[in-house]
Structure 1
Amino acid sequence: MTVPTPPARIVPRELGSGTLAGGLALPGPWDPAHVWLLRVSRHAAELDGLEVLDAAERQRHQAFVRARDRERYAVAHVGLRLLLGAYTGTKPGGVVLARERCPLCGGPHGRPAVSGGAPHFSLSHSGDLVLIAVAATPVGADVEEIPALSVADDVARTLHPRERDELAALAPADRIIAFSRCWTRKEAYLKGTGEGLAGGPEHTYVGTGSEPAAVTGWALADVPVGDGYGAAIATALVGSQPPCVKG
């Protein structure tokens, strides 16, 4: 049987007033991930208060020194809880979040997860944007502000050799955009596996071109989120296995 894969680009849904009324149907194992976009400048005054966050989340929220960072964290995590509550039929404050085992060391700092294992989700935020992906299989999401050329060139040294060569062949303006595509795909994939950057950005080729490269067991998709940002998700294909825990 041929396993259907998500399209190379996925248009995100905007979380707005009334979107969650009546709950949300979970994506099935053959469905693309549901991808949600929140704008911090819009939602900061709209979402429910911090009482839906658990004690650890509230402590993390208060630890941010800058008000802008606290606001972004609040929008991201309240929005996540509202969505997970709508998908699971649970009050947002009643959603219990946990951490899976790290696939590299076995420690309790792997992918964030809903206690019980379903649905799978991933959260990312940068600048004014929050990106949330929800799927029936492990998923990773990443959104990033497009960096300065000097930053892109510096971080590009950590990429797969083929990706470094592709970027080096481009003019500066094209190189920044291509780097952004590559980096968000890379982060999304490593978040999906649970390895994070400790897994090594140099190991897996995800490509810098207009379409993501094929990665065994995963479907990568770029997410259009507007000028000034790059975004991508990575979804584990049905039947694929997560990396074995080492040690």
Structure 2
Amino acid sequence: MIIDRLGDPTPEPRTPAVGTDTGRAGTAVDLWQLRVDHLAEGDLDLSELDAEERDRFAKPLRVADRLRYGIGHIALRRLLAPRLGVGPAEVAYRREPCPGCGAPHGRPAVDGPPGAPHFSLSHSGDVVLIGIAARPLGVDVETFPLATTVHEVTAALHPAERAEIADAGHAPEAFARIWCRKEAYLKGIGIGVARSLAKDYLGERDPSALPEGWAVRGVPTAGGHAAAVAVEGPMGRVRTSWLPASFVTAASAAGPV
């Protein structure tokens, strides 16, 4: 059941406290977010998913996980389709080589002509986040974790990140902001958390210490969540839009606003 309500406000953005990049030159990034809690499984139009995606959706996942997966993959197809000049069901994907071992299990990419857009997808809690740009990128959204998780995972991070989190009193929000920045970068380079979490600095205090050749910034999102985007090269304009729940239903048009 769709519960888009007339007059229901868009979730109020939460702007990261520090570390935002305001430069205008560089790669433009378009971000879209959807609220998972405004939809039920029966609302989704699964007809545009490919066989692999439908099989994944049919697996005995938790309802919330299945819902996030379905919403994210339907929305991604409908956002990519007009940029590729095809229907959502015709969007095809491939895996790029892993930067660690060279095997084809790296960053997901559009299986299309040269110049096809790069994309990244993340979902957690009540939010799905999708990013599209002309250069490789990664996005991540996370709910604020439990205090025990903060202490357990912080120990594995870069020393400067550990210091920033400690200075913030190990607050779940501070941890989540830094974790999202790290996850976005690791997804952007295509290796994920297989890379040591202590190797790269993705904190908020020292932009000069960020990985060479990449830009990262926090993304305003719904309360109780943190989000970030990383892009190869300098980052330009970042536009964030909230999509209505109806974007992923059978009645939705394929193109975004």
TM-score of Structure 1 vs Structure 2, range by shorter chain: 0.7 to 0.9
**Aligned counterpart, 1:142:** 140
Matched, 1:75 2:75: no
Describe the shift of the 1:43–1:186 C-alpha distance in structure 2 as closer, same or farther (beyond 3 A).
same
1:204-232 Cα shifts (integer Å, max 9, x gaps):
10114597963310110100102100000
**TM-score of the pair, normalised by structure 2:** 0.76
SS of residue paired to 2:132: strand
**Aligned counterpart, 1:153:** 151
Amino acid at match of 1:232: A
**Aligned counterpart, 1:50:** 46
Matched, 1:184 2:196: no
Alpha-carbon distance in structure 2 between the residues aligned to 1:201 and 1:9: 23
Using the TM superposition, give the Cα deviation of residue 49 of structure 1 relative to its aligned residue in structure 2, in angstroms.
1.3
Please provide the CA RMSD for this pair: 2.4
Using the TM superposition, give the Cα deviation of residue 200 of structure 1 relative to its aligned residue in structure 2, in angstroms.
1.6
Contact 1:133-1:140 at 8 Å conserved across structures: yes
Contact 2:27-2:135 at 8 Å conserved across structures: no
**TM-score of the pair, normalised by structure 1:** 0.79
Amino acid at match of 2:131: A
Does 110-119 or 136-145 show the bigger shift? 110-119
Describe the shift of the 1:127–1:192 C-alpha distance in structure 2 as closer, same or farther (beyond 3 A).
same
5+ residue gaps, structure 1, are: 1-6, 11-28, 239-247
Contact 1:9-1:224 at 8 Å conserved across structures: no
Contact 1:61-1:73 at 8 Å conserved across structures: yes
Describe the shift of the 1:121–1:135 C-alpha distance in structure 2 as closer, same or farther (beyond 3 A).
same
Alpha-carbon distance in structure 2 between the residues aligned to 1:212 and 1:186: 15
**1:1-247 counterparts in 2 under 5 A?**
8=20, 30-44=26-40, 49-116=45-112, 118-172=116-170, 175-209=171-205, 214-237=210-233
Contact 1:189-1:233 at 8 Å conserved across structures: yes
Alpha-carbon distance in structure 1 between the residues aligned to 2:43 and 2:207: 35
Contact 2:143-2:225 at 8 Å conserved across structures: yes
SS of residue paired to 2:89: helix
Does 133-142 or 197-206 show the bigger shift? 197-206
Using the TM superposition, give the Cα deviation of residue 199 of structure 1 relative to its aligned residue in structure 2, in angstroms.
1.5
Describe the shift of the 1:66–1:33 C-alpha distance in structure 2 as closer, same or farther (beyond 3 A).
same
Alpha-carbon distance in structure 1 between the residues aligned to 2:85 and 2:41: 24
Using the TM superposition, give the Cα deviation of residue 177 of structure 1 relative to its aligned residue in structure 2, in angstroms.
1.8
Does 124-133 or 35-44 show the bigger shift? 35-44
Alpha-carbon distance in structure 2 between the residues aligned to 1:68 and 1:180: 20
Using the TM superposition, give the Cα deviation of residue 80 of structure 1 relative to its aligned residue in structure 2, in angstroms.
0.5
Describe the shift of the 1:126–1:9 C-alpha distance in structure 2 as closer, same or farther (beyond 3 A).
farther
Alpha-carbon distance in structure 2 between the residues aligned to 1:124 and 1:109: 17
Contact 2:44-2:70 at 8 Å conserved across structures: no
Counting matched residue pairs gives 212
SS of residue paired to 2:222: coil
Higher relative contact order (CA 8 A, sep 6+): 2
Runs of 4+ in 1 over 4 A off after TM superposition: 43-48, 208-213
Alpha-carbon distance in structure 2 between the residues aligned to 1:77 and 1:213: 34
Describe the shift of the 1:123–1:169 C-alpha distance in structure 2 as closer, same or farther (beyond 3 A).
same
